[in-house]
Structure 1
Amino acid sequence: MTISVGHNQYTNALPLFFYIDYDKMRELNISFVTRLPAELNRGLADGKLDISLISSFSYALNAEKYELLPGLSVSAQKAVGSIYLFSKVPINDLNNKNIALTNRSATSVALLKVLLKEFYNYDVNYDVMDPNVDEMLNNHDACLIIGDEAILTFREKKLKLYSYDLGRMWSIFTGLPMTFAIFAVRKEIYLQKQVEIRLIWDELIKSKELSREKKFRPMIHKIKEKYGGDYSFWLDYFNSCLNYELNEEQMAGLQYYYELAYKHSLIERVPNLSPLSMLEK
């Protein structure tokens, strides 16, 4: 039986995957499937993937099916640097306006709705679209873009657009970090394949730690070949914006996010956050 692992294709998740020994994984019948975040969410929920990095919001929708892996996330202490609301008008003028949402996110879409309802008390009309800023803003006042598309759009610094980093907004209002993605494994797979899941977890932890030890340098050189940009920009992005832990601070921010999502009827229940402690032994 092959174990399929969801691999997020965005650069913000790359430190978790960059140093994995893929040859070793193939020998153990463990395959990695590279997809967009929304596709990974669907794949794990539908059983087409066995273990995956998924949107934190998707975990809340399917928590009864999953076990949560410890020590791994894509989080931001303050600014995240790759999740932006781009707007034709200042955010204080967005009440009763129209906002286009990327179809590649779950956590960020719910986070924007929480921020605008809980902290601004706005009523907003939302539409989900492909992430193209020009097309999204044809008939909308603002748009939400995530990942590499958001980085490139922000770098272009389009004239007459206001930009708001959702990680920074969350930090300002709550004083907590925001956890955008976490690793989950389907419960039946974990029960059947605990040894293999431990090996996968070890590889992910190793990749996270090696990325940090090497100060992201080899990885950044690869990223620059594809997306350009200054080395200093990418170094600051990985060092200052992103965090890959899942400690008490990240858990507290995630718990509050779920509570607000529940308060505003985005999820039916607040999920239990209990990472698999036995993996850390």
Structure 2
Amino acid sequence: MTASSSIDARLGVVSYLNTLPLIDGLDRARGVEIVAAVPSSLAGLLAAGATDLSLCSVIDQQRSEVPLELVPVGQIGCDGPTWTVRLFSNRPLSEIETVGCDVDSHTSIALLRILLQEQYGLKPRFEPFDASGPVREDWPDAVLLIGDKVVRSGPGTDTHPHQLDLGEAWRELTGLPFVFASWFRRADAAGEELERARRLAVLVDHARRRNRHRIATIAKRHAPSHGWEIGQAIEYLGTRLCYECTPRSIEAIRTFLEAASKVSDPGERRPPLRIAADVMASA
């Protein structure tokens, strides 16, 4: 941050367990304000200038009224089962007519739309569903959940025996990993705003590289408060998720955005994926 900057660098994050390997320790970084929100809100905060760098759902780059660009210093992705993006159904998936969709994520809804159409020839109705709050019993016949609530309070196999892990299904469909969220900044950032975004990019890159050696420590410290067993959290953070943004990640994002455009409304905006040219992740 330059000496003339009058505000902290503002980092938009989600509060799920899976975000901690990207950000653990940054709450103690000088001159950094952590802005926590659900994934579906972060692109809007970034576009509004309320954050300088945000961990956005990748589909929201195409929907933002303000051009955004990907900063390749970290992501939340998987190369197979992810455990925390899951469709639950009380009937065979081929018979689904309506899906209650967790309002916390946009990318997961777009991914499910692709998978159901490609694998089952289905175009069900997608209805918003607020899955927050305590354990509940009034689940829809089919419901898409994301985040810690999948493990903590999702429907059981006794009522919803037909389930689909979206990361695993995407891998089977395309042979590619899947990226749910990545760091983004405003494409028109300039001056102090751009400098804050660049500073944050360095900080989150360093945090990711440091924390990949601290997965067990992070899990032991934070898993219980997120509703996870420690051993399960270590496997989830350490082997199920992919945090490094690689050329294969970019290929996967482009493939997903192309597939999403084919099943979206014809009038939806489809700007190309923009990638920051002045930032490169460290090895």
Question: Structure 2 length as normaliser, TM-score?
Answer: 0.87
Q: What is the number of equivalent residue pairs in this alignment?
A: 270
Deviation at 1:158, TM superposition (A): 4.1
Q: Is the 8 A contact 2:52 2:196 kept in 1?
A: no
Worse-matched range after superposition: 265-274 or 50-59: 265-274
After superposition, the C-alpha distances for 1:46-93 in whole angstroms (9 at most, x for unaligned) are 332222101011112228622321131100111111011010012122
1:122-271 matched pairs, under 5 angstroms: 122-131=122-131, 134-137=137-140, 141-153=141-153, 157-161=156-160, 162-214=162-214, 216-266=215-265, 267-271=268-272
CA distance in 2, matches of 1:259, 1:129: 26
Q: What whole-Å deviation, never above 9, does each CA across 1:108-165 have from its counterpart, x for those lacking one?
A: 011111111233221211210101663341xxx20000001112135x7341312211
2:58 matched to 1:56? yes
Aligned-residue offset at 1:186: 1.5
Change in Cα spacing, 1:47 to 1:64, as seen in structure 2 (3 Å) is: closer
Deviations 1:207-246 (A, max 9, x none): 11111112x1221112233134432211110122100111
Question: What is the TM-score normalised by the length of structure 1?
Answer: 0.88
Q: Which residue of 2 aligns with 1:91?
A: 93
- CA separation in 2, counterparts of 1:184 and 1:63? 14
Letter in 2 for 1:69: V
Structure 1 counterpart of 2:275, which letter?
Answer: S
2:3 corresponds in structure 1 to none
After superposition, the Cα gap between the structure-2 partners of 1:229 and 1:187, relative to the gap in structure 1 and judged at 3 Å, is closer
Q: What amino acid sits opposite 1:130 in the alignment?
A: D
Partner of 1:41: 43
Distance change in 2, residues 1:4/1:278 (3 Å): closer
Structure 2 residue identity aligned to 1:98: T
Tell me the residue number matched to 1:18.
24
Per-residue Cα deviation, 1:222-281 (whole angstroms, up to 9, x for no partner) = 223313443221111012210011111111111111001111125432522423344459
- In structure 2, runs of 5+ residues without a counterpart are 1-5
Matched AA of 1:251? I
The root-mean-square deviation of aligned C-alpha atoms, in Å, is 2.2
The answer to whether the 8 A contact 1:258-1:270 is kept is no
Higher helix share: 1
After superposition, the C-alpha distances for 1:171-212 in whole angstroms (9 at most, x for unaligned) are 111111110001111134344444432321121112111111
After TM superposition, the structure 1 stretch with the greater mean CA deviation from structure 2, 225-234 or 79-88, is 225-234
Identity %: 24
> Hey, what's the Cα distance between the residues in 1 that align with 2:274 and 2:249?
11
Question: Secondary structure of 1:69's match?
Answer: strand
Unaligned runs of 5+ in 1: none
Equivalent-residue separation in structure 2 for 1:228 and 1:33 (angstroms): 22
The one-letter amino acid of 2:277's match is: L
Give the partner amino acid of 1:135.
D
Q: Any conservation in 1 of the 2:11–2:52 contact (CA below 8 Å)?
A: yes
The one-letter code of the counterpart of 1:144 is: L
The farther-off stretch of 62-71 and 177-186 is: 62-71
Note if contact 1:19-1:210 (Cα within 8 Å) is conserved in structure 2. no
Given that 2:112 and 2:166 are in contact with CA atoms closer than 8 Å, whether structure 1 keeps it comes out as yes
